């Protein structure tokens, strides 16, 4: 994790100071498990106090207001039991881990919507007979987090939400390979929200929602376009996340942003959560996701699928990219659009090779059915779990231009950062305007006919069609490795078929 240093934003500096209080006692990837729930408790408690004060003004007495809320919890957003209110948590001097754990569990009991969200951490847990986080460190953490009020009148939900996401980003930066799986860089999420272009009343779905960043950025983009006009029908957002801890963070993230989000816990590929009454997949107007790249799923995942998602072909076991694409496509309404972040190889692997290639064959189906609308090549070193560049693939059932595909090479539209590069606001606007305006720009974007893709054996890589400074396209090492694994899979299948045939002829070896 990065060194403790002063940040520009007051809220960010406050949150980073809190993270620094538990440095050394626990591993950096686990900081979020302790800090984020406590921030959430602080926000819940401060908002509850605001609502209680408002009722006290209305009825002229704090005791009356307290009694009313005790009798009718629906008078407040979330009812916070006496022992779980911040002033009581902060006053504890002994048994802090136990009392904090009791507090979050009591909040969950009183507010079923927060069950499995606020109570995911045992602050008193031990390993090998030792506390994971000591009462002394918890005390230091609570003292820092208690120094600021997070009520409705103290901090706007968007500002607090931005600070919260800042902390998620800091955890991702310093936590190695696995951390980036749950967090999409905010500027990439905002670019996708601009591209997906939310309109009133639409439904949005992210099947691998992580901490909920893509869904939240969609709502923020919608608010940017339409403001808070009550006459405008809001969008509705839905997400599913496989990790219990990350699911809890997504729910907290939405609550802290003061947003409604229907987020389910579970394995989307094996057990999708959003179904119709007849057991079929629920359909959404817009779908967007950043699934883990090149996941390794068993073939039975596709062969035994109960939801008819993989009619365009089974992906290789070495990469589930086109499995996720088909799940998302199957979740689209008839006039829907989807955007997915993947590694660059997903749009190029297998093209130009001899014989059959599963990923290329699935791409062929999507191109031949005129479903691929655009591909955007992103700069390298944007993501927290890889330095690879990545692409955004946009598939639409109601394309802007039939038989055409827009390719955008945005590989140079970045600014250097530490430790990661980032897309500045002007680049986000630039890329979004090229897509929304369906515009060509020299060395940046090009509109090609579907027939051109066919001639290039269904290679959709923007760098093949939009060259910059004469750079040649080079096969990344990761893609070569995946192609090798697929070749080995084909060889094993061919060997098993040959053995079966020879066995049938009486040859046994």
Q: Which long-range contacts (CB under 8 A, 24 or more apart) does 353-357 make?
A: 353/483, 357/483, 357/486
pLDDT interval class at 181 (50, 70, 90): low
Q: pLDDT tens for residues 233-286?
A: 999 999 999 999 889 989 999 998 889 999 999 999 999 999 999 999 999 999
Q: pLDDT tens for residues 491-507?
A: 666 666 667 676 666 66
pLDDT, position 24: 60
The encoded tokens of residue 192 equal 């996708």
Q: pLDDT tens for residues 50-106?
A: 999 999 999 989 999 999 999 999 999 999 999 999 999 999 888 999 999 999 999
- Residue-wise over 468-487: b if at least 16 C-beta within 10 A, else e? eeeeeeeebebbeebbebbe
Which residues does 496 contact at the CB level (< 8 Å), separation at least 6? none
Which helix (H) or strand (E) segment holds residue 133: the answer is none
Q: pLDDT tens for residues 474-490?
A: 555 555 555 555 656 65
pLDDT, position 111: 95
pTM for the full predicted model: 0.85
Hey, how many other C-beta atoms are within 10 angstroms of the C-beta on 337? 22
Residue 174, pLDDT above cutoff 60: no
At which residue do the structure tokens 């609570």 appear?
Answer: 142
């Amino acid at each position: 994790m990065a060194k403790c240093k002063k940040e520009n934003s007051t809220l960010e500096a406050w949150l980073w100071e809190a993270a620094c209080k538990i440095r050394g006692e626990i591993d950096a990837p686990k900081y979020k498990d302790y800090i984020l729930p406590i921030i959430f408790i602080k926000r819940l408690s401060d908002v509850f106090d605001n609502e209680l004060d408002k009722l006290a003004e209305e009825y002229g007495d704090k005791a009356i207001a307290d009694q009313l809320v005790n009798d009718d919890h629906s008078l407040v957003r979330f009812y916070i039991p006496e022992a779980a209110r911040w002033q009581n948590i902060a006053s504890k001097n002994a048994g802090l881990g136990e009392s904090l754990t009791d507090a979050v569990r009591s909040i969950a009991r009183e507010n079923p919507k927060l069950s499995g969200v606020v109570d995911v951490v045992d602050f008193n847990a031990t390993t090998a007979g030792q506390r994971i986080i000591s009462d002394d460190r918890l005390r230091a953490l609570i003292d820092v987090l208690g120094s600021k009020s997070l009520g409705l009148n103290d901090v706007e939900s968007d500002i607090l939400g931005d600070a919260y996401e800042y902390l998620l980003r800091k955890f991702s930066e310093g936590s190695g390979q696995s951390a980036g799986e749950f967090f999409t860089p905010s500027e990439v999420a905002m670019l996708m929200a601009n591209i997906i272009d939310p309109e009133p009343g639409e439904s949005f779905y992210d099947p691998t929602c992580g901490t909920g960043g893509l869904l939240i950025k969609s709502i923020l983009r919608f608010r940017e376009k339409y403001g808070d006009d009550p006459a405008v029908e809001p969008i509705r957002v839905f997400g599913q996340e496989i990790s219990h801890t990350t699911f809890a963070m997504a729910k907290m993230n939405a609550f802290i942003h003061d947003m409604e989000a229907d987020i389910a816990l579970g394995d989307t590929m094996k057990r999708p959560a959003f179904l119709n009454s007849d057991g079929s997949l629920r359909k959404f107007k817009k779908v967007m996701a950043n699934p883990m790249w090149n996941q390794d799923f068993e073939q039975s995942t596709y062969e035994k699928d109960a939801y008819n998602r993989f009619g365009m072909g089974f992906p290789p076991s070495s990469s589930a990219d086109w499995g996720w694409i088909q799940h998302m496509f199957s979740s689209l309404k008839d006039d829907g659009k989807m955007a997915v972040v993947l590694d660059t190889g997903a749009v190029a692997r297998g093209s130009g090779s001899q014989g059959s290639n599963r990923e290329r064959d699935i791409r062929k189906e999507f191109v031949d059915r005129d479903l691929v609308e655009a591909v955007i090549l992103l700069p390298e070193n944007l993501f927290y779990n890889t330095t690879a560049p990545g692409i955004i693939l946009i598939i639409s059932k109601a394309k802007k231009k039939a038989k055409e595909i827009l390719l955008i090479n945005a590989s140079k539209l970045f600014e250097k950062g530490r430790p990661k590069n980032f897309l500045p606001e002007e680049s986000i606007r630039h890329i979004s305007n090229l897509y929304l305006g369906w515009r060509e720009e020299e060395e940046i974007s090009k509109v090609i006919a579907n027939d051109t893709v066919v001639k290039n054996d269904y290679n959709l890589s923007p760098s093949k069609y939009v060259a910059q400074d004469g750079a040649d396209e080079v096969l990344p090492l990761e893609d070569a490795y995946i192609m090798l694994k697929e070749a080995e899979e084909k060889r094993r299948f061919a060997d098993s078929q040959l053995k079966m045939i020879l066995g049938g002829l009486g040859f046994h070896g």
